[in-house]
Amino acid sequence: MIRKSILIIVILQIICPIALCGVFANCFMGGYNLNTNDDKRMAINFSNHDIIAGVDMRANLETSLQSRFEGIPPVPIADLKASQIVGDGVYYSRLTSEVVHKVYTMGQDPVVKTVDVDTYIIMPKKFDAIQAMTMHFSDEDSSQAELTAKFTYDNEEYEFTVTSEIDETNELEIFLAPYCPLLEGLDLDYTDSFPDSISRDNLHYEGGLTIEAIKV
Amino acid sequence: MIEIKLRWNTGLRAERQAFRWLLFLAVLLIYATNGQGTVSLSASYYNSDGGLSEEVSVDNADFQGSVVIMPYETLPDFPSSITLQGAGHSNGAYSRSYFSHSVSASSGGEFNEIEADMSTKNASFGWTSEGKISSDYEDGQLISLNPKGEIVSGVIDAHYANSFSSLEQDIYATNKYYAFNAEITSDLVYFEVPTLHPIGGSEPSQLISQLTATNHGKEVVAFQKLQEDPLIRTVVPTEWYQEVKLGPQESQILQYVEIRSIPGYLTYPTSELTESITAGMTLEATYENSGQPLFEKRFIPTSEFSNYPLTVGVMKNEYDDVYMVNRLNMSVRWGEQTWEA
C-alpha cells in the first residue's frame, strides 16, 4: 500500500534591510517550522543574530528555509540558508545562528541535531563582506553544514570556508581579526588614518584620526 | 583680613654692621585670608633699581605672601634688591572659589605685567607668585605666576596673560579626574595637562575643554571632549594630553585623546551610544582685530572619516594578544615665522 505523504514545502525568505543612514545594527530574526506525515514529525527552529557596525554602511540579512518530506518512504529533509551582505563602511560584522533540528518517529526517541554558528570580521579599515551558512538535514544522506566568510579589504578579496557533517552537537566558527591565524602571512595593513593640515598667514595646523591594531 | 608686619633682619655679617646705619631693610609680611566674601590686596614695592606691584583678590581661598626690599642690590645674601613671593589655595573642593593675581615689574626702562585668575565650582586650585628686581635677569627683572588645579566633577574657568599673550581655559568635568598646571612669566604663558585618569564607579564620565589662545594678532580656539560609558571603561582606558606654549616669537597648542583597548578586546566605530566611548576635537582660528576666520573650522575626525565625533564600541576577541588604538591628535603653531604645510 502506498502511503500518501503530506508534502509540505515551506520557503521562508526574510530580508532584513539596514537603512543606509544606520551605523550600527543589532538584529534578531528567527523561525520555526513543523512538518508532519503519518508517523513522523520534523521540527526545525533557528534564530539568527547579526551585528553590524561602521559608518555609512549598507547591509542585508537573508534567510531561507525549505523543509519537506520527500520520497517513498517519506524522508524528512530541511535546507537552511542565511547570509549577511555588508557594504563599504563596515568595521565590524558578525553573524551568529542557533539551529535545532528534531525528527520525531512514532514509538522512538526523537533525533535532535543542533548547530551553532558564529563568524565575525573586525578590522581597523573599512571592508565589505558576505558571511553565509548553509545546512542540509536529511535522514538518508549525511547532514552537512558549511560556513563561508568572504571579505574585501584594501581592494583584495579573501574567502574562508569550514564544513562539517552534522552530528548531535556542532559548532562552526570563522573569526577574522587583525593578526589572527587565518590571516597570517597575508601581510594586511592594520592601520588607517584620516589626516588634515592647513597653513595660513604664519599659522600651521595638523590634525587627524588614526586607527591601528597592534599585536602584543 | 589683611595684616602687614615689619621685621628687621638681624643676620648681618660683621663687615656690614659698620654700614647698618646706612642700610634700610624693610620686610613686609602680607597675609590675606578669606572667611566670607572677597578680600583684596594691592601693593607696590620700589627702590632705586626698580619696582614690583601686585594685586590679589580671593574669595573662599587663602593667600600668604612676603616681600624683601633692599635700598639697592648689594648683599650676597640678598641677590635681588626686591624679592616678592607668595602662595595661595582654595578652601574646600565642594564649593565656589576664586582668585585673581597680577604682578608687574619695572626696571631699566622695561615694564612687564602678568596676571592669572581662576573661578571654580567643585574644584580645587593653588598658585604661587614670584617677583624679583635683580641684575641677574635680562631686563633686570623676573616675575612669574604658577597656578594649578584639579577637578573630578565641576567647572573651572581660568585666564592667564602677560603683556602680549593670553589664554582662556574652560573645563567641565563629570566623574573624570583632571589636573593641570600653568606658568606665566613676562616671556611665556605655559599650560599643561599631564595627568588624566578615570574614576571608578557606575556613572558615565565626561570631560569638555576649550582653550582660547590670543597672540601674534590671532585668536586660536581648541576644543576637545571625551565621554565614557562605565561598562567599557575597564577594558578601554583613555589618555588625554594638552599643552600650550605662548611665546614672543612662536606659539603652540598640542592636544590628543587616545582610546586604547586592552589585549583581547577590539574597538570598532559605531553610532551606538550605550557601552561606548565618544571623543572629538575642533579648531578655529580668527584674526584678533577683525574676527575674520583664517580658514574653515577643522574637525577631528575629519569628514573623510564621515562621522563627528568618533564613537567606538568594544568586542571580546578570540585572540588575546591584539588590541586597538584610536588616536585623535591636533597641533597648531603660529607666530613670526612660516611653516610648510
Q: How far is B247 from chain A (nearest CA, A)?
A: 14
pLDDT at A23: 45
Measure the N-to-C terminal CA separation of chain A; round to a whole number of Å: 70
Least confident of A94-98, B28-32, B249-253: B28-32
Mark which residues 246-305 of B lie under 8 Å from A by CB. 263, 266, 268-272, 281, 283, 285, 294-295, 298, 300-302, 304-305
Residues of chain B contacting A23 with CB distance shorter than 8 Å? 269-271, 307
Residues B302-330, mean pLDDT to the nearest whole number:
92
**What's the mean pLDDT when you consider all of chain A?**
83
Of residues A6 and A162, the one with the higher pLDDT is A162
Residue A20 has pLDDT above 50, yes or no: no
pLDDT 10s digits, A103-150: 888 888 888 999 999 999 999 999 999 999 999 998 776 889 999 999
Q: What is the C-alpha to C-alpha distance for residues A147 and B24, in angstroms, rounded to an integer?
A: 95
CB contact under 8 A, A209 and B328: yes
Q: Which of B125, B4, B128, B107 is nearest to B53 (CA)?
A: B107
Q: Can you give the pTM of this predicted structure? A: 0.85
Determine if residue B109 is left, alpha or beta; phi over 0 gives left, psi from -120 to 50 gives alpha, anything else beta.
left
Mean pLDDT of all residues in A191-204? 96
Q: How confident is the model at residue A201 (pLDDT cuts 50, 70, 90)?
A: very high
Q: Does A210 touch chain B (CB under 8 A)?
A: yes
At residue A1 the predicted structure's pLDDT band, cuts being 50, 70 and 90, is: very low
DSSP annotation of A6: -
Q: Which of B266, B324, B337 minimises the CB distance to A202?
A: B337
Cα Rg of chain B (Å, integer): 24
- CB contact at 8 A, A65 and A14: no
Q: Does residue A88 have a pLDDT over 80?
A: no
Evaluate if residue A21 carries a pLDDT over 50.
no
What is the tens place of the pLDDT at every residue in B209-222?
A: 999 999 999 999 99
Query: Is B99 in contact with B125 (CB distance < 8 Å)?
Result: yes
- For residue B2, pLDDT over 80 is answered with no
Q: In whole angstroms, what is the distance from residue B121 CA to residue B103 CA?
A: 25
Residue with cell 582606558: B237
B124-138, B200-214, B293-307, B327-341: which range is least confident on average?
B327-341
